[in-house]
A and B are shown apart, each in its own frame.
Chain A
Protein backbone atom coordinates (compact mmCIF):
# COMPACT_ATOMS: atom_id res chain seq x y z
CA UNK A 1 0.00 0.00 0.00
CA UNK A 2 2.67 2.49 1.05
CA UNK A 3 5.29 3.22 -1.59
CA UNK A 4 8.10 3.82 0.88
CA UNK A 5 11.16 1.61 0.30
CA UNK A 6 13.82 0.61 2.86
CA UNK A 7 16.53 3.18 3.42
CA UNK A 8 20.03 2.29 2.23
CA UNK A 9 23.23 3.43 4.04
CA UNK A 10 23.86 5.98 1.32
CA UNK A 11 20.38 7.33 1.80
CA UNK A 12 21.11 7.68 5.51
CA UNK A 13 23.89 10.13 4.65
CA UNK A 14 21.50 12.03 2.39
CA UNK A 15 18.93 12.13 5.16
CA UNK A 16 21.53 13.42 7.60
CA UNK A 17 22.52 16.21 5.22
CA UNK A 18 18.84 17.01 4.67
CA UNK A 19 18.18 17.36 8.40
CA UNK A 20 21.36 19.36 8.94
CA UNK A 21 20.49 21.88 6.24
CA UNK A 22 16.87 22.04 7.37
CA UNK A 23 17.64 22.58 11.05
CA UNK A 24 20.47 25.05 10.50
CA UNK A 25 18.48 26.95 7.88
CA UNK A 26 15.38 27.13 10.06
CA UNK A 27 17.42 28.23 13.06
CA UNK A 28 19.11 30.98 11.03
CA UNK A 29 15.79 32.24 9.68
CA UNK A 30 14.30 32.26 13.18
CA UNK A 31 17.33 34.17 14.44
CA UNK A 32 17.15 36.66 11.56
CA UNK A 33 13.46 37.24 12.15
CA UNK A 34 13.75 38.08 15.83
CA UNK A 35 14.12 41.77 15.04
CA UNK A 36 10.57 41.85 13.74
CA UNK A 37 9.21 40.98 17.15
CA UNK A 38 11.66 42.34 19.72
CA UNK A 39 10.63 45.61 21.41
CA UNK A 40 12.59 48.73 20.43
CA UNK A 41 13.99 46.98 17.40
CA UNK A 42 13.29 47.38 13.70
CA UNK A 43 14.22 44.80 11.12
CA UNK A 44 16.45 46.15 8.38
CA UNK A 45 13.95 45.12 5.73
CA UNK A 46 11.40 47.58 7.15
CA UNK A 47 13.94 50.37 7.09
CA UNK A 48 14.90 49.47 3.55
CA UNK A 49 11.26 49.75 2.48
CA UNK A 50 10.21 52.58 4.76
CA UNK A 51 7.73 53.99 2.27
CA UNK A 52 5.82 50.72 2.42
CA UNK A 53 6.47 50.09 6.11
CA UNK A 54 4.48 53.18 7.09
CA UNK A 55 1.43 51.61 5.47
CA UNK A 56 -0.43 49.60 8.13
CA UNK A 57 -1.60 46.87 5.72
CA UNK A 58 1.95 46.15 4.54
CA UNK A 59 3.42 46.13 7.99
CA UNK A 60 0.77 43.79 9.42
CA UNK A 61 0.91 41.56 6.34
CA UNK A 62 4.69 41.25 6.64
CA UNK A 63 4.66 40.54 10.36
CA UNK A 64 1.94 37.91 10.08
CA UNK A 65 3.65 36.40 7.05
CA UNK A 66 6.91 36.09 8.99
CA UNK A 67 5.16 34.67 12.05
CA UNK A 68 3.12 32.23 9.99
CA UNK A 69 6.16 31.19 8.00
CA UNK A 70 8.12 30.47 11.16
CA UNK A 71 5.28 28.36 12.55
CA UNK A 72 5.08 26.53 9.22
CA UNK A 73 8.83 25.82 9.12
CA UNK A 74 9.11 24.73 12.74
CA UNK A 75 6.03 22.49 12.59
CA UNK A 76 7.44 20.66 9.57
CA UNK A 77 10.84 19.86 11.07
CA UNK A 78 9.88 16.43 12.43
CA UNK A 79 7.37 15.38 9.80
CA UNK A 80 9.81 13.15 7.94
CA UNK A 81 10.87 11.29 11.06
CA UNK A 82 10.13 7.59 10.72
CA UNK A 83 10.27 7.27 14.48
CA UNK A 84 7.58 9.90 14.92
CA UNK A 85 5.37 8.21 12.37
CA UNK A 86 5.70 4.87 14.15
CA UNK A 87 5.51 5.94 17.78
CA UNK A 88 3.42 9.11 17.75
CA UNK A 89 1.24 9.28 14.69
CA UNK A 90 -1.08 11.65 16.55
CA UNK A 91 1.80 14.18 16.77
CA UNK A 92 2.50 13.86 13.05
CA UNK A 93 -1.17 14.53 12.34
CA UNK A 94 -1.39 17.54 14.65
CA UNK A 95 1.85 19.07 13.38
CA UNK A 96 0.50 18.54 9.89
CA UNK A 97 -2.67 20.38 10.80
CA UNK A 98 -0.66 23.28 12.18
CA UNK A 99 1.44 23.32 9.01
CA UNK A 100 -1.64 23.32 6.79
CA UNK A 101 -3.54 25.92 8.81
CA UNK A 102 -0.57 28.28 8.92
CA UNK A 103 -0.23 28.14 5.13
CA UNK A 104 -3.93 28.42 4.29
CA UNK A 105 -4.84 31.13 6.80
CA UNK A 106 -1.64 33.16 7.07
CA UNK A 107 1.28 32.43 4.78
CA UNK A 108 -0.62 32.16 1.49
CA UNK A 109 -2.90 35.23 1.73
CA UNK A 110 -0.17 37.49 3.10
CA UNK A 111 2.31 36.10 0.60
CA UNK A 112 0.00 37.01 -2.27
CA UNK A 113 -0.60 40.50 -0.86
CA UNK A 114 3.11 41.16 -0.38
CA UNK A 115 4.02 39.73 -3.78
CA UNK A 116 2.49 42.71 -5.57
CA UNK A 117 4.99 45.08 -3.98
CA UNK A 118 7.88 42.62 -3.81
CA UNK A 119 11.50 43.41 -4.46
CA UNK A 120 12.76 42.44 -7.87
CA UNK A 121 10.03 44.23 -9.76
CA UNK A 122 7.80 42.22 -12.07
CA UNK A 123 10.06 39.18 -11.99
CA UNK A 124 9.94 39.14 -8.22
CA UNK A 125 6.16 39.55 -8.18
CA UNK A 126 5.63 36.69 -10.61
CA UNK A 127 8.09 34.54 -8.69
CA UNK A 128 6.44 35.08 -5.32
CA UNK A 129 2.95 34.65 -6.75
CA UNK A 130 4.01 31.40 -8.40
CA UNK A 131 5.53 30.24 -5.13
CA UNK A 132 2.39 31.16 -3.15
CA UNK A 133 -0.10 29.47 -5.43
CA UNK A 134 2.06 26.41 -5.99
CA UNK A 135 2.52 25.98 -2.22
CA UNK A 136 -1.22 26.18 -1.62
CA UNK A 137 -2.08 23.94 -4.56
CA UNK A 138 0.31 21.18 -3.55
CA UNK A 139 -0.78 21.43 0.08
CA UNK A 140 -4.47 21.09 -0.81
CA UNK A 141 -3.77 18.06 -2.99
CA UNK A 142 -1.80 16.53 -0.13
CA UNK A 143 -4.69 17.15 2.27
CA UNK A 144 -7.23 15.65 -0.13
CA UNK A 145 -5.00 12.60 -0.55
CA UNK A 146 -4.79 11.93 3.19
CA UNK A 147 -8.53 12.37 3.65
CA UNK A 148 -8.92 9.69 0.99
CA UNK A 149 -6.38 7.52 2.89
CA UNK A 150 -4.01 7.59 -0.08
CA UNK A 151 -0.66 7.66 1.76
CA UNK A 152 1.55 7.62 -1.29
CA UNK A 153 -0.22 10.52 -2.95
CA UNK A 154 -0.19 12.39 0.36
CA UNK A 155 3.55 11.88 0.65
CA UNK A 156 4.13 13.08 -2.93
CA UNK A 157 2.10 16.27 -2.73
CA UNK A 158 3.05 17.28 0.80
CA UNK A 159 6.71 16.78 -0.08
CA UNK A 160 6.30 19.17 -2.99
CA UNK A 161 4.57 21.68 -0.73
CA UNK A 162 7.36 21.32 1.81
CA UNK A 163 9.97 21.80 -0.91
CA UNK A 164 8.32 25.07 -1.89
CA UNK A 165 8.08 26.29 1.70
CA UNK A 166 11.73 25.54 2.37
CA UNK A 167 12.77 27.42 -0.76
CA UNK A 168 13.12 30.32 1.70
CA UNK A 169 16.20 28.57 3.09
CA UNK A 170 17.60 27.72 -0.33
CA UNK A 171 17.01 31.30 -1.51
CA UNK A 172 19.11 32.76 1.27
CA UNK A 173 21.89 30.22 0.83
CA UNK A 174 21.95 30.78 -2.94
CA UNK A 175 21.96 34.53 -2.56
CA UNK A 176 24.88 34.36 -0.15
CA UNK A 177 26.80 32.17 -2.55
CA UNK A 178 26.09 34.37 -5.56
CA UNK A 179 27.05 37.52 -3.67
CA UNK A 180 30.32 35.92 -2.65
CA UNK A 181 30.99 34.86 -6.24
CA UNK A 182 30.23 38.44 -7.37
CA UNK A 183 29.48 37.49 -10.96
CA UNK A 184 26.40 39.63 -11.61
CA UNK A 185 24.80 42.68 -10.08
CA UNK A 186 22.56 42.44 -7.04
CA UNK A 187 19.21 42.87 -8.80
CA UNK A 188 19.92 39.83 -10.99
CA UNK A 189 21.22 37.87 -7.99
CA UNK A 190 17.92 38.43 -6.18
CA UNK A 191 15.84 37.26 -9.11
CA UNK A 192 18.08 34.32 -9.96
CA UNK A 193 18.09 33.22 -6.31
CA UNK A 194 14.30 33.38 -6.13
CA UNK A 195 13.66 31.27 -9.21
CA UNK A 196 16.59 28.92 -8.75
CA UNK A 197 15.55 28.19 -5.16
CA UNK A 198 12.14 27.04 -6.40
CA UNK A 199 13.68 24.94 -9.16
CA UNK A 200 16.38 23.37 -7.01
CA UNK A 201 14.00 22.46 -4.20
CA UNK A 202 11.48 20.92 -6.57
CA UNK A 203 14.25 18.97 -8.31
CA UNK A 204 15.57 17.66 -5.00
CA UNK A 205 12.04 16.77 -3.96
CA UNK A 206 11.43 14.78 -7.13
CA UNK A 207 14.76 13.03 -6.62
CA UNK A 208 13.69 12.08 -3.07
CA UNK A 209 10.33 10.81 -4.27
CA UNK A 210 12.01 8.79 -6.99
CA UNK A 211 14.42 7.21 -4.53
CA UNK A 212 11.75 6.33 -1.98
CA UNK A 213 9.36 4.79 -4.44
CA UNK A 214 9.15 1.04 -4.22
CA UNK A 215 9.69 -0.42 -7.64
CA UNK A 216 6.54 -1.97 -8.98
CA UNK A 217 6.78 -5.55 -9.96
Chain B
Protein backbone atom coordinates (compact mmCIF):
# COMPACT_ATOMS: atom_id res chain seq x y z
CA UNK B 1 0.00 0.00 0.00
CA UNK B 2 1.59 3.31 -1.04
CA UNK B 3 2.44 5.70 1.75
CA UNK B 4 1.08 8.46 -0.47
CA UNK B 5 -2.42 7.56 0.73
CA UNK B 6 -1.44 8.56 4.24
CA UNK B 7 0.24 11.71 2.95
CA UNK B 8 -2.97 12.69 1.17
CA UNK B 9 -5.13 11.94 4.20
CA UNK B 10 -2.85 14.01 6.42
CA UNK B 11 -2.89 16.89 3.96
CA UNK B 12 -6.69 16.78 3.86
CA UNK B 13 -7.01 16.80 7.65
CA UNK B 14 -4.41 19.56 8.00
CA UNK B 15 -6.14 21.76 5.41
CA UNK B 16 -9.52 21.20 7.05
CA UNK B 17 -7.92 22.47 10.25
CA UNK B 18 -6.50 25.52 8.45
CA UNK B 19 -9.92 26.25 6.95
CA UNK B 20 -11.53 26.00 10.36
CA UNK B 21 -9.07 28.46 11.87
CA UNK B 22 -9.69 30.91 9.04
CA UNK B 23 -13.46 30.53 8.86
CA UNK B 24 -14.65 30.49 12.45
CA UNK B 25 -14.76 33.17 15.14
CA UNK B 26 -15.48 30.98 18.14
CA UNK B 27 -12.19 30.69 20.05
CA UNK B 28 -12.95 27.15 21.23
CA UNK B 29 -13.59 25.90 17.68
CA UNK B 30 -10.34 27.52 16.52
CA UNK B 31 -8.52 25.76 19.33
CA UNK B 32 -10.07 22.42 18.29
CA UNK B 33 -8.93 23.00 14.71
CA UNK B 34 -5.37 23.49 15.98
CA UNK B 35 -5.67 20.10 17.68
CA UNK B 36 -6.86 18.65 14.38
CA UNK B 37 -3.77 20.00 12.61
CA UNK B 38 -1.48 18.55 15.28
CA UNK B 39 -3.15 15.18 14.78
CA UNK B 40 -2.69 15.30 11.02
CA UNK B 41 1.04 15.76 11.56
CA UNK B 42 1.09 12.93 14.11
CA UNK B 43 -0.57 10.59 11.63
CA UNK B 44 2.03 11.44 9.01
CA UNK B 45 4.88 10.81 11.45
CA UNK B 46 3.47 7.41 12.36
CA UNK B 47 3.05 6.49 8.68
CA UNK B 48 6.69 7.39 7.95
CA UNK B 49 7.78 5.47 11.03
CA UNK B 50 6.08 2.37 9.64
CA UNK B 51 7.60 3.02 6.22
CA UNK B 52 11.14 3.16 7.61
CA UNK B 53 10.55 0.15 9.83
CA UNK B 54 9.51 -1.82 6.74
CA UNK B 55 12.65 -0.62 5.00
CA UNK B 56 14.70 -2.21 7.76
CA UNK B 57 15.73 0.76 9.87
CA UNK B 58 16.12 -0.18 13.53
CA UNK B 59 15.68 3.40 14.79
CA UNK B 60 12.27 3.96 13.17
CA UNK B 61 10.64 4.02 16.61
CA UNK B 62 12.07 7.50 17.14
CA UNK B 63 9.21 8.96 15.08
CA UNK B 64 6.70 7.44 17.47
CA UNK B 65 8.57 8.98 20.40
CA UNK B 66 8.26 12.28 18.57
CA UNK B 67 4.49 11.77 18.32
CA UNK B 68 4.46 11.02 22.03
CA UNK B 69 6.13 14.36 22.78
CA UNK B 70 3.71 16.19 20.50
CA UNK B 71 0.86 14.70 22.51
CA UNK B 72 2.55 15.87 25.74
CA UNK B 73 2.91 19.41 24.44
CA UNK B 74 -0.68 19.40 23.14
CA UNK B 75 -2.01 18.37 26.54
CA UNK B 76 -0.10 21.15 28.28
CA UNK B 77 -1.22 23.62 25.62
CA UNK B 78 -4.88 22.70 26.03
CA UNK B 79 -4.75 23.21 29.79
CA UNK B 80 -3.28 26.71 29.51
CA UNK B 81 -5.31 27.67 26.43
CA UNK B 82 -8.65 26.71 27.92
CA UNK B 83 -7.75 28.59 31.10
CA UNK B 84 -7.10 31.69 28.96
CA UNK B 85 -10.41 31.21 27.10
CA UNK B 86 -12.30 30.84 30.37
CA UNK B 87 -10.65 34.00 31.68
CA UNK B 88 -11.58 35.95 28.54
CA UNK B 89 -15.14 34.64 28.81
CA UNK B 90 -15.35 35.73 32.43
CA UNK B 91 -14.19 39.25 31.57
CA UNK B 92 -16.25 39.78 28.42
CA UNK B 93 -19.06 37.16 28.46
CA UNK B 94 -18.06 36.02 24.98
CA UNK B 95 -15.70 33.60 23.23
CA UNK B 96 -15.56 35.71 20.09
CA UNK B 97 -11.96 35.90 18.88
CA UNK B 98 -12.47 39.54 17.80
CA UNK B 99 -12.68 40.53 21.47
CA UNK B 100 -8.90 40.21 21.42
CA UNK B 101 -8.78 43.40 19.33
CA UNK B 102 -9.25 45.29 22.59
CA UNK B 103 -5.72 44.33 23.55
CA UNK B 104 -4.44 46.81 20.98
CA UNK B 105 -5.46 49.87 23.01
* A and B are interacting partners: no
A residues within 8 Å of B by Cβ? none
